[in-house]
Structure 1
Amino acid sequence: MGVSEVDEIDVHDISPMAWRLLRVAAGYGQREVEVEIDDIMQAHISMLENNNRSLSQERLDVLFDLYHSELTDEQVCVLVSNF
C-alpha cells in the first residue's frame, strides 16, 4: 500500500481555520472532542482554532486521526490545502 496525500500532511502545518473546518466537517463540537480524547479540553481546541496555542505532537496526531476517521481522504486534503 502506498503513501496517500493525507499521510503527507504535517499536522503542524494545518492552519487554525482548517482545524476548525476539519472538526465541524467531522461532526464534532469542541466539547464533544473533549469527551472523545483523554487529556484534551475544550479550551485546548479553542486555543488551537484561534491560533493562540498549539498542542503537542501526540495530541495533534490524535486529534487529526479523530477528524480523519469521520472524513474521506479527499475531504481532509481539500480542507487542509485550501484553508
Structure 2
Amino acid sequence: MQAKQRLGPTLKEESKLIIEDLKSFQFKIDQLIIDLNQSNLFQHQLTFIQAQFILNEFLTRQKQLDKQALDYKQLQTLLDTTIID
C-alpha cells in the first residue's frame, strides 16, 4: 500500500504528460491531413516531378508519424501490463 501511495503522484503526473503527448500527436496527424488537402498536389498544372516531390514530403512526415504511433502502441502495451510480485 505504501508503494502505491508513494508512486501515485508520479504515475498521475506521467499520465498527464502522456495525454499531452497524445494530443500533440493527434494534432500532427490532423495537420498532415489538412496540409495534404490544401497542397498544390491536386492542381492539374503540376508536372509529374512536382507531384512526386510533394508526395515524397508528405510520405516523410507520414513515416515519422508511423514511428511515433508504434511507440505509443508499445507504451499502451506497457501501461496495460500488470506487475505481480
TM-score for the superposition, normalised by structure 1: 0.28
More helix by share: 2
The structure having more radius of gyration, on CA atoms, is: 2
Structure 2 length normalisation: TM-score?
A: 0.28
The structure, 1 or 2, with the larger RCO (C-alpha pairs under 8 Å, 6+ apart) is: 1
